[in-house]
Structure formats: structure tokens, C-alpha cells
Amino acid sequence: MTLALESPLSAVRGVGAASERMLLAEGLATVADLLWRLPHRYEDRSNPVRIGSLTTPDVTVTVSGRLVQLVERGARNRRMRIVEAVIDDGTGSLPVVWFNQPYLAKALPAGARVWLHGAVKVARSGWGLQLVAPEWEVEDEDGEPIHLGRIVPMYGRLGNWSGRRVRTLVARALDDLGGVEDPLAAVLPAGLALPSLGDALRWAHFPCPPASDAALGGLFEDLARRRTPAHRRLAFEELLALAVVLERERGRRRRQRAPECSITEEIRESARRVLPFRLTEAQRRVLAEIVADLQREFPMARLLQGDVGSGKTIVAALAALVALAAGHQVALLAPTELLAQQHHAMLTRLLAPTPHRPELLIGSLPAAEKRRVRQRLEDGSGHLVVGTHALLEDAVVFGRLGLAIIDEQHRFGVAQRQAMLAKGVAPHLLVMTATPIPRSLALSLYGDLDVSVIDEMPPGRTPVRTVLRD
């Protein structure tokens, strides 16, 4: 049966109903889901050592040869079965032992040519060496090896499946995979030297060995860093898909009607009254960007980035003042109760000269206080609220939410951000982070957001030095 990337995993050889349920529980429904789950590392098991050259124990080796004898017997502990064999490669022979795997007596018949990979130990008799509990694979003249005799992809457990069984499933899926539709193939610049999508998936799971042993070290370095042409092509595919989704989200937001916010002299005077100090040039620049967004016809969606102590919160507070003056409600979502309480205290002091009194909604509040705050938010008498995940509960209803501010946005998921926005009708969104993200990366990860950076510390603040260590 020829498979497509969209084929259900139940169509792959060896996947029954129970296996399909387990794979679904792990989030894998289609062949594409399986193949995009790449190996976490690779091992070189392609070059067998000569058995005659083995002289010391405590080494891990790959050997290839013929099983000249194989027996199953009981141990002194009657509950344990032992399978013993001898492998011969023409340069020497080596005893092999497996514990509690009696099925190997049938899976590995004497005379079969096999690959083995495992630890060489001193034999229990004290004389000579033996291979203890090695991985195995019978040589197949008609097909390529999967588990040994090649550069081997290593997978973590998947449900109750071992990495070996996952590898077998991946190999079967790739064997039966037909032509992979690749609409990008015709438009990829030739200079990128990227393979087709189908070839990239095959190579990323089962890399081909290099033409020479000298190139093997470089290949494994590229595999470890995920910078082979196959990995680069798959990364390109993922980044392009992310960019398309983010651009669609940006377009969707720009078709919405934003809560109206206009800047008046009264608002400017109010801002001057609440400011306890002069803003830095960087703060003034990003505030101007935010205020310009608030006056557009479509909702703002902006990421405000700045080191700890750079003054992000005061900028967010001034943005909140604009929305409040326009008659809208403002919500500030923080990841912890301590941070929410700190923001609430700061805003209470800052907005004291104004008629706006911040509310606090966190999980540890008494039930009666929560009900009071929720009622004020619903009837509109609560203008500004600072809270934690408690703000996302279904019981929290806003009368006219116009601006949602999310602090430390990396600690909230996309679903939580959307849940906050769903509390209003296309409210403006301002998310803040102190994580130093290069602008190009920020535009890639948060392409649906415009980016503002406070790159200047207020006077008297020690600059934060960020270092990237490899």
C-alpha cells in the first residue's frame, strides 16, 4: 500500500487498533506527524570491528558475522531464561549472552548472518570476553539495515514503545511513502542547495554515510547541530509555515474594528501629572509607537521588549491611561500573584491623581472579594484590573475591554493570549518581555506583533549585559 503524508498511521504496516490509540494519545495521527518527529541524536554503527582485534573489555562495539551456535537455557534463578550464542566473522569468535529474551532462540537461528551492537565484558567464567545483551539485526540481502550497519537514528520512547520499535515504524512508513507533494520545489533558490521535501524527510531519519571516513566527523557535527541540507530544508518548511500563519493572523486583526482612542490635551496633561520622572528617549520613542497604534482603525498588537529596569511598566501604564481616558477598560495579566501585586501597588500610586483606581484579581483573594471585582468589571465601574490567570476564568466578564496588557508574555501560551483577547471585542494588545530577543528572531517568532525595544536604561540604573554561551 502506497502511503501519503496525510495517511493515517493505521495504514502503516504493523499498526493495529491498540497501537493507533497509543499513537493518537501521543499526538500522532498521520504519517506526517510521525515523520516530523525527528531523531534526537544519531549513532555511527556502520563500521564493524574485527572480532580478532578485540583484546580489552568495557568497550561498546558493532560486529558483523555468522552465528555458529545458539542455545537457550535456564538460569539458577528459574524465572530467568538465558540465550547464549557465538558469533564468528572470520577473524575470530565471540560469545554472546542475552537475559530474559527467550524469543531470540527463534528470531536468531544458528547460521544466520547478523549485526550485533553492545558492550564487551569479561566473561562470567573469568576467562576471555563476551558480548552482553547486544542489540541485534539479521542481515537482509534484499534490503538495507535499520538498527545496525549504518548511521542509526535514535528516538526516545513513544508511549509504551521502545526507541527501536519507533525506528521500525519510521522505516516502514518511509518504505511505503509515495511521492511527496512539494509545491516549494519550483521556487526554492538553487543557491540554497536544499533537497526536496521527500528526500529531506528520508535523509533526516536515515542519513546516508559520507563518501569517505574522513568526512564522517564533519557529518556527525552537522547532524548534532541540525545543519545538514535535510535539516535546513525541514527548518525552512517550518519557518515558512509559521510565517504564513502569523501573516494570516496579522491580516485578520487588521480587518477588525479597534476600540477608538484619541489623544487630547487633557490626556497629555494627565500623563504629565502622573509621571514622577522624565522618560528616557527610548521610552518616549516606544510610547509614541504605541500611541500611534492606539489611534489606528484596527487593533494594536505590539511586543514591548526591554531589560529589567528599563521602564516597560511605566510605558504600559501611560498606554493604559490613553485607553482609560477614552472610556475603555484595561486589563494587565501577570504570571504570578507576587508580580500582579507589585504591578497593582505601582499603578495605584501612579494613578492616584486620576479618577482611576486599579482592581486586583488573583486566586488567593477571598471569594467575596473576587465576586465584587468581577461585578465591577462586568458593569463597567471597574476601569483597570491587574490579575493572574484568574482573569482568564469564564466567570470574568468585561463590560468594555479596550486594552489587554500581558507581562512576561513568554510564560503564557497562545491559547491564554487568545482567551484574554476574547474578553473584549477586538481589544488592543500590548505584550511585554524582558527576554533579550534579537529583532530578526522576534519578528520570526512573533510575526503577528509589531516590535518596540527600549534599548536605554534610566539614569542611575546599571545596564544589563547579555551574553550568549555556546
pLDDT of residue 52: 93
- Compute φ and ψ for 135, nearest 5 degrees: -70, 155
Burial status of residue 329 (CB atoms within 10 A of its CB: 0-12, 13-18, 19 or more): buried
pLDDT of residue 179: 87
pLDDT of residue 443: 62
Q: Tell the CATH topology of 47-149.
A: OB fold (Dihydrolipoamide Acetyltransferase, E2P) (2.40.50)
d(CA 49, CA 58): 15
Burial status of residue 289 (CB atoms within 10 A of its CB: 0-12, 13-18, 19 or more): middle
Percentage of the residues of the chain whose pLDDT score is greater than 90: 58
**Fold match, 47-149 / 265-454:** no
Task: Point out the least confidently predicted range of 151-165, 199-213, 228-242, 257-271.
Answer: 257-271
d(CA 432, CA 235): 27
pLDDT of residue 444: 63
Alpha helix (H) residue ranges in 140-215? 163-176, 197-205
The answer on pLDDT for 274 being more than 90 is no
Mean pLDDT confidence for 55-73? 92
Whole-structure pTM value: 0.75
Mean pLDDT confidence for 366-383? 94
pLDDT of residue 460: 60
311: pLDDT confidence band, cut at 50, 70 and 90? Answer: confident
Percentage of the residues of the chain whose pLDDT score is greater than 70: 94
d(CA 61, CA 64): 10
- CATH number for 265-454 (one of 3.40.50.300, 3.40.50.2300, 3.20.110.20, 3.30.365.10): it is 3.40.50.300
Pair 290, 304: CB distance under 8 Å: yes
d(CA 29, CA 9): 6
d(CA 389, CA 384): 16
Name the residue ranges covered by the structural domains of the chain.
9-43+153-238, 47-149, 265-454
